[in-house]
A and B are shown apart, each in its own frame.
Chain A
Amino acid sequence: MTVGNGRVADQVSEGDYLEPRMLAAIDSLELRARMVVQGLMIGLHGSYHQGVSVEFSQHRPYTTGDDIRHIDWKVFGRTDKLYLKQYQKETNLRVFILVDISGSMGFSSFLEFNWRKFDVAATLAATLSYLAIQQQDRVALVLFSDEVESITRLSNSKDHWRAVLAALNDASFLTPGSHAAKDAKSTDFSRVFDQVTAKLNHRSLIILISDLFDPDPAALEHSLAQLRHHHHDLVLLHTLDNAELTFPFRSPVEFEGLESEGRIKINPAGLRQSYLERFNHYLQEVERVTRRFRFDYIRVDTSKSLAATLRQFIALRTASISKGR
């Protein structure tokens, strides 16, 4: 497998790398993130738009260890000297990746392997932070539930990425093989965003990775309004399990809430239509609210490959940057 020149490996396709089954088999978040990045690189196939930020702004001399992909060969042809292209926000973008670690993120409908919404979120967070750091953007990781649980420093060093990984691995409810924590918490966006925006001194990019199951639906709108007011940008990665999207249950089931909502015994067939109507309405509302504030919205299905999600993310960011947002 090679990277950099965009050629696809003989035996493994880009889709295979990013399939949940493959990713779930990798315990190490770091390795998983690298696999995602690699798969993404292969899929992008030599596109220049591989970073969080992609606008070229100036040159700087090549030093040993720099990524040779950014060598401006035209300049070399003219000057016989190696210069690297520098991109517009390479050193200016502040990225805050907010990852929801409430009880609901611990849900997984996969029976053969453990692939929770949090696992997807963590993988996305790790991947995006890696890409950001690669672009010399400064990244901070915020873990939240009903409040901000932890927040890393804002940095773009390579060591900082490991700190991000460590924080993700140490998420308090995460127990290998378990689906929920004993004291799983619910989500409180208004409080979380209050805490986060307090730390945003400059215009920043917020990447919110959550299922957005907030008892107070209006809190999201308020929070987004707050962000827009402070001229921050937001990409919402709405992470949902396929079972939540399709409600495929037929036989009688006893459902247990992951955020201490209690249990109910139902015959799912009778409730399916009603549930899907309500859920769909909720999703559309979230998307509508998000777009109303001119933020980007991406729905992430945990049963699907992450490739589409990431490509969509990159495309959206490219478009945003092109528009000068």
Chain B
Amino acid sequence: MPIILGQSVTFFATALAWAGCGAVGVPVAIHLFSQLRRRQMPWAAMQFLVESYRPKRRWLQLEQLLLLINRCLILIILGLALSSPILHGFTVGFEPGAGDRLVCIILDDSLSTQASGLDGKTRFGALVDAADRLVASLSRRDHAGLWLSGYPARPLVAIPTREHKTIRDHMKALPRRFGRSDMAQALSMVLDSLQTSVREGLYTRAEVYILSDWNIGTFDPEHPPISQLAQIGKHAQVFVSRPAAACDNVQIQELKPQRPVILVHPDGSVTIPVEVKMRRFVTDAEDTDSVVRIVGRNAAGHLVTRPVERRVSWKSGQPAAAVSAVLEVTNQEVSSVVVSASVGLPDTDAIKPDNQRWALVKIRRSVTVGIVDLVPAPGERHNEGGMFSPADWLRVALVPHIPVNRGGFERVRVVDVLPTGFSSQALEGMDAVMVLRPDLLGVAGWRTLAQAAGSGAMVWVFVPPGEVSSAWVTTMVKEFDVDWRLAMQGDVNGSVGGPWPMKTDIRPPRALAMLAADWSALLGPVRVLRRYNIMAQNSGEEVWLSTYDGRPLLTHARVGSGQIMFLATALELGWTNLVVKPLFVPLVHESLHAAVGSNVDVGSTQAFVCGDQPILHAMWKNQSNLVHQTGHRISLKRHKESVSLTSPFNLAGVYCGQPEETMVATVNIDPDASNTNAIKPDQLGHWFDEAGQWHWLNLEQPDRMRSTRDSRQFLGWPLLWVVLILVVFETILARLCSHAGRRRLFSGSLPGVLPRRP
């Protein structure tokens, strides 16, 4: 099929184009006239003329025909060139039959494409139809490949094939996907395929078709895949579907329990505070109401909390809303609760799967804290003057105010650990270890503590009171492999110039976020009289508290699965008044909560999104499958220290381990996956300009590969060059056909028969 220009070309001066076409009649008329107007010549030497004419007859006729055609072309093209033709957009004539062509199709099967339009047809349906028409229009010699950009991006037909029917069958059987679009990865895969093809010289041409709804999130606006597009543009022509029109969608953006691990209240009750954030992608929607339902279930799916409902009134133009609730766990025996939040919406909501979200909360009845200190003999107190020792202060902060014998239960179990000779067995099962006499620990003790931290415990080191050497700091730093150091040996006395106040104009660390509301007020009264001058070199370490001069007071670092904290002052009034200020107790408890919550043992509460194919902790090693609440099954593969999934998460929801159903993982939809707003065409075009020449694709007629890119190409100059070439050709051809040069062979007195010598 020919290259189709059709309405894509306009002429500034159409009359000149017609004049050029009409002028073709002039050389034709001259030619015909010369044929008719031949002079008649009686000739005697006919035999010689006939003998000369016969072998050259066809060539002579061809000469004249070539001249005539060339002259006609000159006039036509000159007329077209002078009429200032302008090519609007670019209509590609790579029609079926081109052959030796590589066609790469990227199909976006992310969640946003499940949005349906006013006609009830989903975006994905339109994209698949367009891809199907595209593949159906390919010639038998064309090779096609298909890639899907839904996270994780993957090839469906990685090796380009001529089996077009296979590709079409694959497309028709594509399941729904719930991940976001990973277009960058899909482009990388296509680029690899193109580069391989170029290297092997398999194809003469290549084309890349990207069929996507281009919702916001398809490309990371901070890091668009410019380099991939530029590389693709070097090897192939790029055709891009236009961004889809925005449509109404409400999603639950986040379901966040206050803590991933909930400690049972001192009175034995369990409440789970949660916050639900929602987003609304609207065009010009009116006010509407929706109801958010929050409920907790156990791994088996049975209710363990009373459902809570919250009403949200959406005003026109309102993009977000948040509700909070506290779930009361009714089943005291449950060890984990799957909290789910769902929002009821009218049918105009474009995407339904993002209206529900899950989160896993672990319930802990108690935590075990070890205190490493010298234990005084009965009747003996090793602090002077009857004052509280550091251990006493800690116990007061940790022990529940409701005694066990009064109906309370041991929420925090405190275990004394002697600083000398303790082993890893002594620390087994401890969630935290508070080291009050670090100066008494040997290298083995520090090593044991480091191993405990690596296994998930929190180790909190306090400066020992009294005049002791600070040499232990070096051992601690070495065994825990943290980048701390003492600026000077020993403690620093802040008595000269007054005690150090706390630096209050800082934000609390994430672990202490619960204290954020009162942070400044809590820090204000605290003073430090004596302290170790510790320096934290590595920015990986967090400084949770510092004095007003900026020097760290409380530092934190992750160690393996656990963590280490170091308070650069002693828990004694001679050193600081922290122990008697309101900050101390919540500081201890929130630190403990954070330690317990970040423990990998509770890694099952890790947030997965649709499309993830994570490596799970070894605690999953006894499981053979993950089973979705719908029955969908994902096999697990065991490795030495970890467990992996054989296929990525697709469905959102709750996955239970098999055989242990109490092992639970929750998978949610990536909030960006259901953002139904699209990237602006100008922005998208700006990115694709990196690919060189690219074209918009008409989804209605992808097989015609029409483009409506607003580019205009003036064809006048190229046509004038063509005319020039034809004129040169005409000159040469006319000279040759005149055979004028050959007269020089007979130059002399007789321009004919060679002169005969008498």
Residues from chain B with a CB closer than 8 A to the CB of A259 are: 44, 46
B42, B52, B756: the one within 8 Å of A271 (CB)? B52
Look across to chain B and name the residue whose beta carbon is closest to the beta carbon of A271: B52
**Known contacts A245-B752, A265-B38; A270/B48 CB under 8 A:** no
A282 to chain B, nearest CB (A): 7
B740 located at the interface, meaning its Cβ lies under 8 Å from any Cβ of chain A in the complex: yes
A211, A246, A251: the one within 8 Å of B751 (CB)? A246
Q: B56-64, B306-314, B425-433, B539-547: which one contacts chain A? A: B56-64
Residues from chain B with a CB closer than 8 A to the CB of A180 are: 42
B67 to chain A, nearest CB (A): 10
B46 touches A272 (CB 8 A): no
B42 touches A312 (CB 8 A): no
B48 touches A279 (CB 8 A): yes
A256 touches B753 (CB 8 A): no
A244, A254, A272, A275: the one within 8 Å of B44 (CB)? A244
Q: How many A-B residue pairs have CB under 8 A?
A: 126
A252 touches B34 (CB 8 A): yes
B47 touches A255 (CB 8 A): no
Residues from chain A with a CB closer than 8 A to the CB of B59 are: 270
The listed residue with most A CB atoms (<10 A of its CB), out of B39, B740, B743, is: B39
B35 located at the interface, meaning its Cβ lies under 8 Å from any Cβ of chain A in the complex: yes
Residues from chain A with a CB closer than 8 A to the CB of B53 are: 264, 266, 271
A163 located at the interface, meaning its Cβ lies under 8 Å from any Cβ of chain B in the complex: no
Interface residues of A in 179-195 (CB under 8 A from B): 179-180
Interface residues of B in 427-453 (CB under 8 A from A): none
A246 touches B43 (CB 8 A): no
A254 touches B40 (CB 8 A): yes
Whole-angstrom CA separation of A249 from B34 in the bound complex: 15
**Known contacts A271-B52, A275-B49, A278-B51; A117/B44 CB under 8 A:** yes
Whole-angstrom CA separation of A257 from B44 in the bound complex: 6
A257 touches B43 (CB 8 A): yes
Residues from chain A with a CB closer than 8 A to the CB of B63 are: 267, 270
**Known contacts A251-B39, A275-B52, A278-B51; A107/B44 CB under 8 A:** yes
Residues from chain B with a CB closer than 8 A to the CB of A249 are: 41
A5 located at the interface, meaning its Cβ lies under 8 Å from any Cβ of chain B in the complex: no
The listed residue with most B CB atoms (<10 A of its CB), out of A241, A242, A261, is: A261
Whole-angstrom CA separation of A248 from B752 in the bound complex: 8
Residues from chain B with a CB closer than 8 A to the CB of A241 are: 44
B226 to chain A, nearest CB (A): 62
Whole-angstrom CA separation of A267 from B45 in the bound complex: 16
A255 touches B43 (CB 8 A): yes
Write out, one digit per residue, whether chain A residues 229-273 have a CB within 8 A of any chain B CB (1) or not (0): 000000000000110111111011111111101101111011111
A274 touches B740 (CB 8 A): no
The listed residue with most A CB atoms (<10 A of its CB), out of B44, B64, B745, is: B44
Residues from chain A with a CB closer than 8 A to the CB of B743 are: 272
B92 to chain A, nearest CB (A): 44
A38 located at the interface, meaning its Cβ lies under 8 Å from any Cβ of chain B in the complex: no
Whole-angstrom CA separation of A57 from B412 in the bound complex: 171
**Known contacts A211-B44, A278-B48; A252/B38 CB under 8 A:** yes
Whole-angstrom CA separation of A170 from B59 in the bound complex: 46
Residues from chain B with a CB closer than 8 A to the CB of A106 are: 42, 44
A20 located at the interface, meaning its Cβ lies under 8 Å from any Cβ of chain B in the complex: no
B758 touches A271 (CB 8 A): no
**Known contacts A246-B753, A280-B753; A267/B48 CB under 8 A:** no
Residues from chain B with a CB closer than 8 A to the CB of A39 are: none
**Known contacts A253-B41, A255-B41, A272-B739; A246/B46 CB under 8 A:** no
A273 to chain B, nearest CB (A): 5
**Known contacts A275-B52, A276-B746; A266/B47 CB under 8 A:** no
Residues from chain A with a CB closer than 8 A to the CB of B737 are: 269-270
A104 located at the interface, meaning its Cβ lies under 8 Å from any Cβ of chain B in the complex: yes
A299 located at the interface, meaning its Cβ lies under 8 Å from any Cβ of chain B in the complex: yes
B41 touches A256 (CB 8 A): yes
A130 located at the interface, meaning its Cβ lies under 8 Å from any Cβ of chain B in the complex: no
Q: How many residues of B contact A (CB 8 A)?
A: 39
Residues from chain B with a CB closer than 8 A to the CB of A283 are: 753, 756
Interface residues of B in 700-758 (CB under 8 A from A): 737-740, 742-743, 745-746, 750-754, 756, 758
B29 located at the interface, meaning its Cβ lies under 8 Å from any Cβ of chain A in the complex: no
Residues from chain A with a CB closer than 8 A to the CB of B742 are: 272-273
B751 touches A256 (CB 8 A): no
Residues from chain B with a CB closer than 8 A to the CB of A248 are: 751-752
Look across to chain B and name the residue whose beta carbon is closest to the beta carbon of A312: B758
B44, B48, B745: the one within 8 Å of A258 (CB)? B44
Residues from chain B with a CB closer than 8 A to the CB of A117 are: 44
B750 touches A275 (CB 8 A): no
Whole-angstrom CA separation of A70 from B43 in the bound complex: 47
A282 touches B48 (CB 8 A): yes
Whole-angstrom CA separation of A13 from B745 in the bound complex: 36
B377 located at the interface, meaning its Cβ lies under 8 Å from any Cβ of chain A in the complex: no
A247 touches B41 (CB 8 A): no
B487 located at the interface, meaning its Cβ lies under 8 Å from any Cβ of chain A in the complex: no
Whole-angstrom CA separation of A215 from B45 in the bound complex: 11
B32 to chain A, nearest CB (A): 12
B60 touches A271 (CB 8 A): yes
B752 touches A273 (CB 8 A): no
B65 to chain A, nearest CB (A): 12
A213 touches B752 (CB 8 A): no
Look across to chain B and name the residue whose beta carbon is closest to the beta carbon of A105: B44
Whole-angstrom CA separation of A312 from B35 in the bound complex: 45
Q: Give 30 A-B contacts (CB < 8 Å), ordered by A residue.
A: A103-B44, A104-B44, A107-B42, A107-B43, A213-B47, A245-B750, A245-B753, A246-B751, A248-B752, A249-B41, A251-B34, A252-B37, A252-B38, A254-B40, A255-B41, A258-B44, A258-B46, A265-B35, A265-B38, A266-B49, A267-B64, A269-B740, A270-B56, A270-B739, A271-B56, A275-B48, A275-B52, A278-B48, A283-B756, A312-B758
Residues of B within 8 A of A (CB): 34-35, 37-53, 56, 59-60, 63-64, 737-740, 742-743, 745-746, 750-754, 756, 758
Residues of A within 8 A of B (CB): 103-107, 117, 179-180, 211, 213, 215, 241-242, 244-249, 251-259, 261-262, 264-267, 269-276, 278-280, 282-283, 287, 299, 312
14 further interface pairs, Cβ-Cβ under 8 Å (given A256-B43, A271-B60, A278-B51): A104-B44, A107-B43, A117-B44, A179-B42, A247-B752, A252-B39, A253-B39, A254-B41, A262-B46, A266-B53, A269-B740, A271-B52, A273-B739, A280-B754
